[in-house]
């Protein structure tokens, strides 16, 4: 059992938790808590599991379900786990997972694909919430542009509530190349924009589409909005000038869901 924060395994773990460059270099990320670890698919590689002394005594069945060599389960003292945990109320278990790569061509071949593009989203909570909502709405893939918050930031991971494991997510995308690639595959690109004249319920979403959500403070860049096929405006009846990015994304996603369910019925 490890008790010292100076242990090499603990130093390695903390470097992954706190440093984006380390996560990028090693192509790894950290997830913490029973619920989110239960969401990890069997075909998703888990490199190590760190457990507190109390957890390992009380949750043997849970640990037996995890697809990992038992030699890669590392036990630490309760006190040390509370130190390395990224949560206020640690549950005593966290996992280090491999980042997963997806095929863009495979994703774009989906008939009537439903995609989300996030341009320079900065808030971890917003990104995590959008991913969770996209999962619920049946989105086929998410594209995150360069200049955005790190997908594997622990706060993002926690906010997804496990949805990060449920759909393909592409990071560090060049927005211009992405839009061009989408158009080449007959995917209509639609931007949420305050100056638009078309409301979402006036547009037909029953085809391959990509909804573009912009930066929390600046919105979508002018250079980006000019390249998209259509600008859409969410109606606002009160005095607020704009909506939170995650809220706006949710409204647009569920208008797509509403139209597609109506088409089926």
CA 243, distance to chain mean position in Å, is 20
Burial class (CB in 10 A: 0-12, 13-18, 19+), 70: exposed
pLDDT above 70 for 265: no
**Tens-place pLDDT, residues 5-35:** 999 999 999 999 999 999 999 999 999 999 9
Burial class (CB in 10 A: 0-12, 13-18, 19+), 257: middle
**pTM for the model:** 0.94
Domain over 104-264 is classified CATH 3.40.1280.10: yes
Cα(186)–Cα(208) distance, integer angstroms: 7
Per cent of the chain over pLDDT 70 is 99
Q: At what angle do helices 124-137 and 245-264 cross, to 10 degrees?
A: 0
Question: What integer pLDDT is reported at residue 229 of this predicted model?
Answer: 94
Spatial neighbors of 200 by CB under 8 A, at least 6 apart, are: 232, 234, 251, 252, 255
Cα(52)–Cα(84) distance, integer angstroms: 11
**Tens-place pLDDT, residues 46-70:** 999 999 999 999 998 898 888 888 8
Spatial neighbors of 182 by CB under 8 A, at least 6 apart, are: 108, 115, 189, 210
**Tens-place pLDDT, residues 125-164:** 999 999 999 999 999 999 999 999 999 999 999 999 999 9
Domain boundaries, the chain: 8-98, 104-264
Domain over 8-98 is classified CATH 3.30.1330.30: yes
């Amino acid at each position: 059992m490890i008790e010292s924060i100076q242990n090499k395994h603990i130093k390695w773990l903390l470097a992954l938790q706190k440093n984006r460059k380390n996560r990028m270099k090693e192509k790894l990320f950290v997830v913490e808590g029973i619920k989110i670890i239960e969401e990890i698919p069997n075909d998703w590689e888990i490199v190590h599991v760190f457990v507190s002394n109390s957890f390992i005594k009380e949750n043997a069945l849970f640990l037996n379900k995890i697809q990992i060599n038992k030699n890669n389960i590392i036990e630490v003292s309760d006190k040390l786990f509370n130190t390395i945990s990224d949560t206020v109320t640690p549950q005593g278990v966290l996992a280090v997972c491999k980042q997963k790569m997806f095929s863009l061509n495979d994703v774009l071949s989906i008939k009537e694909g439903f995609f989300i593009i996030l341009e320079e989203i900065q808030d971890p909570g917003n990104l995590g919430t959008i991913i969770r909502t996209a999962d619920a709405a049946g989105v086929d893939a998410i594209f995150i542009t360069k200049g955005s918050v790190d997908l594997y930031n622990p706060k993002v991971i926690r906010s997804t509530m496990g949805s990060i494991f449920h759909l393909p997510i592409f990071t560090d995308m060049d927005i211009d190349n992405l839009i061009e690639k989408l158009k080449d595959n007959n995917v209509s690109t639609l931007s949420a924009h305050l100056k638009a004249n078309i409301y979402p319920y006036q547009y037909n979403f029953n085809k391959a589409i990509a909804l573009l959500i912009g930066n929390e403070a600046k919105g979508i860049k002018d250079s980006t909005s000019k390249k998209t096929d259509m600008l859409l405006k969410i109606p606002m009846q009160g005095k607020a000038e704009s909506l939170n990015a995650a809220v706006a994304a949710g409204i647009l996603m569920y208008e797509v869901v509403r139209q597609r369910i109506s088409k089926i019925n």
